[in-house]
Chains A and B, each alone.
Chain A
Amino acid sequence: MHDPIVTMKDVSYAYENKHALNKINFTISQGSFIGLVGPNGGGKTTLIKLLLGILKPQHGSIELFGVPMNKFKHWNKIGFVSQKANAFNLGFPASVQEVVSMGLTAKVGYLKFFTKEHRQKIEKAVAQVGMSEYLHENIGDLSGGQQQRIFIARALVSDPELLILDEPTVGVDAENVKKFYDLLHQLNNDSGITLLLVTHDIGTMTHHATDIVCLNKHLHFHGNPSEFSSLSDKDLSHFYGHPLNLVTHNH
């Protein structure tokens, strides 16, 4: 068992008295690939915002890499690909290289400039997602799947140990979704990056993830995919708050 890099203890969060998360306890171990599933409004995005420090827990505590969140400084250890990443202004005249460079902006710091070493890192991250030939193309000229790869490169360029992805395959066609999961697999297995992927695609996650976490305001399930697959439809319907049948597939 690897060391936990994220530990949430009794974490609760409410928006104007409406509970989004209630007493959540869970850990993310180094090297794991966690599929975070649950119904809309179940608190998945809230949990991610808490992990990214955008929201502060109203109750309970969070530790990142063994450090209490309020003292955590090494945000470059956490990469993030948002749900809205592929909903950017398509006409924005930014090249792939420029988009990926944004992943280093905070790390480089104010009043400092990109060096040759940073540019090499950018090229390496673009190569890692298999998009080297598009380095100088405008991001808006690429397909949805290619754009998503570029946003992953932007998250990878700062060498994160934990990569959080919030429904990154929304609007991406089936073929590119498969390539996308292959890429995640490679990042997890070959580069050892811990992944937390928010998705509605439970069936696919059971084939790729090492852990499944099911969230609907409470943490209903945290275990391996085979345990999750063996849950009865009645249990799943209870977790989701509505009838649900689990169909697993590989793509």
Chain B
Amino acid sequence: MIANFFEYEFLRNTFYTGLLIGLIAPLLGTFIVVRRLSLIADALSHVTLAGIAFGLLLEKKYILGGVITPFYAGMGFSVIGSVFIERLRSVYKAYQELAIPIILSGGVGLSVIFISLANGFNTDLYNYLFGSVSAVSRSDLYSIIVITVIVITVIFLFYKELFMLSFDEEHAVVSGIHAKRIHFLFIVLTALVIAASIRIVGVLLVSALMTLPVAASIRIAKGFKQTIVLSIIFGEISVIIGLISGYYFEIPPGGTIVVTSILILLLSISIKKLKFNLSRKKAIQ
């Protein structure tokens, strides 16, 4: 079963891509969750869908399709969407969460328009919605390797500033940290990671890979670094089990990855509860 993933190139591409997004999605997801921005991933994934629909429309109707692939169009839309979210958050300072439904509905609206302009799509769109084990090309893999290197480098270089901004934005600003610039960088990275993850988990489930492993690790981790490490471990386990079982049962991997993440989450909640009950029992005795 696993041997197939190394025998066929398309499965190998999927497997390597899966390992990379299993690393970067929870890595960035940790910052997203602690900043209470989990829904931003959903908003950006729907904008990415609009970009993908635009790319598919170009492929179907115009010659430009060869240059601007759905993957790159999705990535472009995602980054533009992230810029708009930041603009809207600064316009509606007292209602910053408003930016998310505005961008999310905008993304769905544009997707519907592009899909109907192209008179509907074939299975490609289904793959983008729920992920696919066979949709990753070699050039997609290379793009995702570049995105991974960028994400890891930026997080490594700006870790202490990102951590400070996540914990206490006011204190960060008072200390002289360029909060707006760092946050902008962070949101663009988020857009790139979402675009990279969509090939495997799909538009509708991409935010789950950024948040569920973090939700599981936050229950049991001590400290922020440990939360990141555990989130990545849970993310990788979910991706590996999800990809293999998805291939075996001929189910889109988005579904199996998310179900695996939920099982890990339930397990971590149970472990925490068990620990709590044991320590309470000890205290009573």
Contact = CB atoms under 8 A, between A and B. Distances in A.
Interface stretch (A3-11, A31-39, A94-102, A176-184): A94-102
B233 to A, nearest CB: 15
A93 interface: yes
Contacts of A111: 157
Nearest to A94: B224
A142 interface: no
Chain A contact patch, size range: 20 to 34
Contacts of B164: 102, 105
Given A84-B170, A88-B168, A92-B34, A97 B161 contact: no
Nearest to B217: A93
A247 interface: no
Contact of A89 (B34, B163, B173): B34
Interface stretch (B9-17, B127-135, B174-182, B200-208): B174-182
A137 B222 contact: yes
B176 A106 contact: yes
Contacts of B160: 101-102, 105, 108, 113-114
A153 to B, nearest CB: 13
Given A102-B164, A105-B175, A111-B157, A136 B36 contact: no
B189 interface: no
A85 B167 CA distance: 10
Interface in A89-139: 89, 91-95, 97-99, 101-102, 105-106, 108, 110-111, 113-114, 136-138
B222 A136 contact: yes
Interface string B195-225: 0000000000000000000000110011111
B227 interface: yes
A91 B223 contact: no
A84 B167 CA distance: 12
Nearest to B158: A110
| Interchain residue pairs A-B with the least CB separation, the first 5 | A95-B223, A106-B175, A93-B227, A102-B164, A105-B160
29 contacts: A53-B174, A54-B174, A80-B171, A82-B171, A82-B174, A84-B170, A85-B171, A88-B167, A89-B34, A89-B36, A92-B166, A92-B167, A93-B221, A93-B223, A93-B226, A94-B167, A94-B223, A95-B224, A98-B163, A98-B224, A101-B160, A102-B160, A102-B175, A106-B175, A106-B177, A108-B160, A110-B158, A114-B160, A136-B222
